[in-house]
Amino acid sequence: METQSIRLRLVFEDGSLLSEAQRSDGMNQSWLLVEPNQHQKISDVCNHLLHSFNLRDSCPNGILLYMDGFVLPPSESTRILKDKEILCVKRKEMGLAEAIEGGDAGNLVDYVEVNRKEPVSNAMLLLPNEEEKLEDESSSVETVSKKRKLQSSKVSGVEGEVVRLLSQMDSSSSSSSSDFAYSSYWHLSSSSSSEDVSSSNTYVCNSHVLSTIAQATFLLFHDTASSSEPINTTTIDREASHDRLVQDYFGENPVYGDEIFKKGFRMRRELFLRIVDDMEREFPYFRLSWDARGKRGFSPLQKCISAICQLAYGTIPNEYNEYLSLSERTSRESLQNFCTSIIQLYGQEYLRKPSVSDIQLLYAAHESKYGFPGMLGTIGYTHWTWRNCPTVWRGQYMRGDLEFPTIMLEAVVSQDLWIWHAFFDVAGSNNDINVLNQWPLFNEEVNGTASTCPFQVNKVKYKHGYYLADEIYPNWATFVKAFTYLDDDKRKKFNATHESARRDLEQIFGVLKSSWRVFRNPARAMDPRKIKNTMYACIILHNMILKDEGLAICPFLENDRPTDQKGLKVNQDTIEELRCQETHNNLRLDIVEHIVNTCVPNLDY
């Protein structure tokens, strides 16, 4: 559903904001159409008004919007506005913070001159209580009058001294600006402290503010060579960076060919461009836009390349800022939006559960290569270190045999290294059994919506397929484990075949960490949801590359999808079937006889 536009009524109470031509046209009261998709925050509306009404000259510090007498914060969402709302537009005045941040002594002089207050009224409020209790009324009036004159001259003298010192700061060439500000600050402090104590009480507030200004100038004009973070005034040429990227990788005659592109970005150029086009079409973040100054933003190619490089090489966000001209914040946002978009666009296909046709193809592929009929894949787990785990959570993410907090990934892998099931959200303190109890791996079987694909081994028919597992998994009918005690040659051959087939699982974790080196380094995000999105996005990209290279066993059929499981009841009988230990033992013995009587080519024993 598209968001409707909002019509706003604008009122310019201060006529000086508009030009004479605008005032003659009656634009003191105007209508404004706001598009929530383009103007998401109040600051966007303010920038639009500055550009539309040409208010840059009359409002150099910007504008503020008021509704019902209350100011609208620039960071507030435009969803707070309603149709036909009345907004008052006012000029944003320069404050002390803006004057100091301007880096110019003239701004501080203007601030002191504009915000100068009459000292007489302040002096009346700051008189000591003893002076107000004079017995003689006539003498009290005369005394107060003399003190007012004295305090007025004192305050004016201090303010004038600050204005004089700050005005000379730019023209001072005999010493550095930091030394000048430092001496000015102490000159003010000594001059103010040398006066009579009873008189200084009357203007202590004003002298404190002015001393603060002088101290701020000392910090502002301090020598930048001693600062660990110098101010960067370099202008970023985003368009030139985009053109350089296109010339190197995406032009008609690119500098780097297909082989180098695939090696650097883990996929073919055609697959990458398809991902970029899909993201640009579906998500506004990856569309090219222009800011309020009319400057071009970052292109979809720059954002996607930055995200891919962070995943493929595990680098920090600003590693490629010189080449892509992206700041650290933009690179981090590009990675987060890229992972989220990958899951939303391709998760339905590349994180799907196997359908009927998929299961039949997996049965045939695993039996022909390993000699295991009815095998769906191998199951196992790995850990990803979480470096920035919050202290309050470290206990549940730590384990005795690991040095740092981790998050567990449990996955099911087929012979072609396709990851069919992935469960990544469990604290590292758990083991395989705890993860299995939380993993919705058998939800379809329990709910009665699983694809019915029975198989036969050693002339015995079994209802459910199985996964090869190690010793820590329970003795369920859906798991086939190696023998602990090798009494005869049959069991030795079975264990050798089992071990050879389970190499796929160890290989897939190595392939993931080799292709996407972000898994080699500890996770830097503090939000576990961002880490989860990163993991699932890399798994989806891994499966997409397998399909693009023609290595996937099972094609994706649009009409062959698993049944929806929402609102279905749990079948207790099915749970007992899946966890039957007797079926587990019988199935393993039948597979032993099948492997002994079957010659499996290209299998290491």
Element containing residue 189 per DSSP (H, E): helix 177-193
Please tell me the predicted confidence (pLDDT) of residue 170: 45
Please tell me the predicted confidence (pLDDT) of residue 179: 45
pLDDT tens sequence across 373-394? 999 999 988 889 998 899 888 8
Q: Where are the beta strands (DSSP E) in 458-569?
A: 460-462, 466-468, 479-480
- DSSP label at residue 380: E
Q: What's the rounded Cα separation, in Å, for the pair 35 and 557? A: 40
pLDDT tens sequence across 164-194? 555 554 444 444 444 444 444 444 444 444 4
297, 280 contact by CB (below 8 A) = no
Share of the chain above pLDDT 70, in %: 71
pLDDT tens sequence across 41-86? 888 888 888 888 888 888 888 888 888 888 888 888 888 888 888 8
317, 328 contact by CB (below 8 A) = yes
Whole-number Cα distances in Å, 279 to 40, 143, 264, 324, 549: 20, 78, 21, 19, 22
This prediction has a pTM of 0.61
Pairing mode, if any, of strands 70-71 and 85-91?
Answer: unpaired
Return the C-alpha torsion angle 131, 137, 141, 146, nearest 10: -50
The mean per-residue pLDDT over the stretch 134-163 comes to 46
Please tell me the predicted confidence (pLDDT) of residue 428: 77
Residue 345: which of 264, 416, 286, 414 has the closest Cα? 286
For residue 428, give the 3-state DSSP assignment. coil
Please tell me the predicted confidence (pLDDT) of residue 262: 92
